[in-house]
A and B are shown apart, each in its own frame.
Chain A
Amino acid sequence: MGSKIDVRAEFPILNQSINGKPLVYLDSAASTQRPNTVLAAMDRFSKTSNANVHRGVHTLSQRATDEFEAARVTVQKFVGADDPAEIIWTKGCTESLNLVAASWGGANLQSGDEILLTNMEHHANIVPWQLIAEKAGAVVRPIPISDDCVVDLQAFRKMVNNRTKVVGIKHVCNATGVVNPVCEMAEIAKSVGAIVVADGAQALAHVPVNVKEFGVDFYAMSSHKVYGPMGVGALYGRRELLEAMPPFMGGGDMIRSVSFGKTTFNEIPNKFEPGTPNVSGVIGFAAALDWYQSVGKEEIWAYENELAQALRNALDQMPGVRTIGKCENQAPVVSFVMDDAHPHDVGTILDSHGVAIRTGHHCCMPLMERLGIPGTSRASFAVYNTNQEINVLIEALKNVVDIFSKC
């Protein structure tokens, strides 16, 4: 290995045995683990600054509010947005995408309008659109992909027309690691005036993100995919769009004034943040982004991509194993199928070796159907993984082959 980053000791959870073997955690695409820095930031907030935000005039409430808003600036800068007000806190990507579909879609979609989503979208960027499409009489259409899970740009160009109102793109495919050409797709979408909704769940930890350069209108994020806590995330939305959109949920803090005759709504971002938010989660999210940047994004990407490529090379040497998805600069997600073993069986056998991978359809049933497979086994990498762990995985896969070649 050329690159070397040693942050493993900063992740206490990794130092344990599973089924009598050292834990080999290769399921970071489902959820990354959190470094001590993030755990400590959340703990410190709880011990020194915990109070409700945007409400009290007392010192503690002000302190909590300041930290909460500083975290918003961290996310804004991280994704290259112009203005912190363009960052809405949510529970994660799923809520972010539901917010856009329900609020923007509810206000703008009409009968006959078309919503184009790549055939590899996660259910979270399909189902919310189906729900709103049904109400509006709009149509959801898949953008074709190749057998390698790459968007067919030519077909996409032909599909867009003046009825196209929304284009949904998963920036990095959670099932295959394929990185979608967000810039080109956004440009094509803009040529017919459609809005572009990108799902950044897998992207934040593995590829450069800049919403302005991409030209996307909305960008959904989850903290727990990038070394932060679960249950918190964000939505970037372009200011003009957010300002024109109706609220997604009603409650406290999202209003300017309420009477039983008439309620007026707050400015963005508060308009979209009713109720007491997950403040310590937000603090953890920002701490995770800070930690990630302090280790060095590009160094991390180089390191984990080397690991993923080493695994792909090793799998290519194994008879009866086929990797799924292929593109330039693929993210460190390695999906594969085995001739004789179903992914579910692979997952169980690997677990007995202490190896944690994800198996199944990865919440991408239309993608699995398109590729003609019931599911895959997926090993996904993060900065804390090691070359040695790839050896353990390969040995465990040999055990899978042994078991299933018995008869």
Chain B
Amino acid sequence: MLSELYQEVILDHGKKPRNFGELASATHQAEGYNTLCGDRVIVQVEMDGETVRNIQFVGAGCAICMASTSMMTSFVKGKSINEIECVFEVFHSAVTGGEADMEPLGDLEALVGVKQYPNRIKCATLGWHALSSAFKSPILEEK
């Protein structure tokens, strides 16, 4: 069971998160914070209309949180808000143990093992929740 949770792809993303660091061209951003364990990620997105042109994140957290956020950033680049929200719905259902068609998840399926660990589900969804909030949080230009 533990090997389902800590798969190589997750450990790899956890240790070497992709798209990590500030995004200078960001138009939107939001923070995800898990008060229970202190995991914190800030997701920064450069939007081109309804499409994610670029995305990066900063923060610190457990391997599951860092890996999930890293994999999410790779996954959503170039996709529209609609597509992303649909996949998040499937992902959320899969990691919370609901019925889900894994096909649209691609690599993200590796994270589904988290459903065996109810108190770790939040770790896997934190980055996604931050992204959802970011879509609604444009960065206001300072005057």
Contacts and interface: CB of A to CB of B under 8 A. Distances in A.
A255 interface: no
Interface stretch (B3-11, B47-55, B77-85, B132-140): B3-11
B120 A407 contact: no
Contact of A348 (B12, B61, B117): B117
B37 A344 contact: yes
Contacts of B6: 345, 349, 403
Contacts of A404: 11, 15, 63
A352 B1 CA distance: 9
B37 A375 contact: yes
Nearest to B64: A345
Size band of the B side of the interface? 20 to 34
Contacts of B2: 348-349, 352, 403
Contacts of B65: 344
Interface residues of A, number: 20
Given A342-B63, A348-B5, A375-B38, A403 B123 contact: no
Interface in B21-73: 36-39, 60-65
Nearest to B120: A348
Contacts of A80: none
Nearest to B15: A407
Interface in A385-407: 403-404, 406-407
A344 B123 contact: yes
Given A344-B123, A352-B2, A407 B12 contact: yes
Interface in A335-378: 340-345, 348-349, 352, 359-361, 365, 368, 374-375
A361 B38 contact: yes
Contacts of B8: 406-407
Contacts of A349: 2, 6
B11 A342 contact: no
A380 B15 CA distance: 29
Contact of A344 (B11, B15, B39): B39
A403 B62 CA distance: 14
B15 A342 contact: no
Contacts of B120: 344, 348
Interface in B93-143: 117, 120, 123
B10 to A, nearest CB: 10
A340 B66 CA distance: 13
A72 B65 CA distance: 48
B143 to A, nearest CB: 32
Contacts of B12: 407
A175 to B, nearest CB: 13
Contacts of A340: 15
Nearest to A359: B37
A404 B62 CA distance: 12
Contacts of B117: 348
Nearest to A365: B38
Given A348-B117, A360-B38, A403-B6, A342 B1 contact: no
Nearest to A360: B37
Nearest to B7: A406
Instruction: Give the most central of B8, B62, B123: most A CB within 10 Å.
Output: B62
Nearest to A375: B38
B35 to A, nearest CB: 9
Contacts of A360: 36-38
Contact of B38 (A341, A348, A374): A374
B11 A406 contact: yes
A403 B11 contact: yes
Interface of A: 340-345, 348-349, 352, 359-361, 365, 368, 374-375, 403-404, 406-407
27 contacts: A341-B63, A342-B61, A342-B63, A343-B37, A343-B62, A344-B37, A344-B64, A344-B65, A344-B123, A345-B64, A348-B2, A348-B5, A349-B6, A352-B1, A359-B37, A360-B36, A360-B37, A360-B38, A361-B38, A365-B38, A368-B38, A374-B38, A374-B60, A375-B37, A403-B11, A404-B15, A407-B12
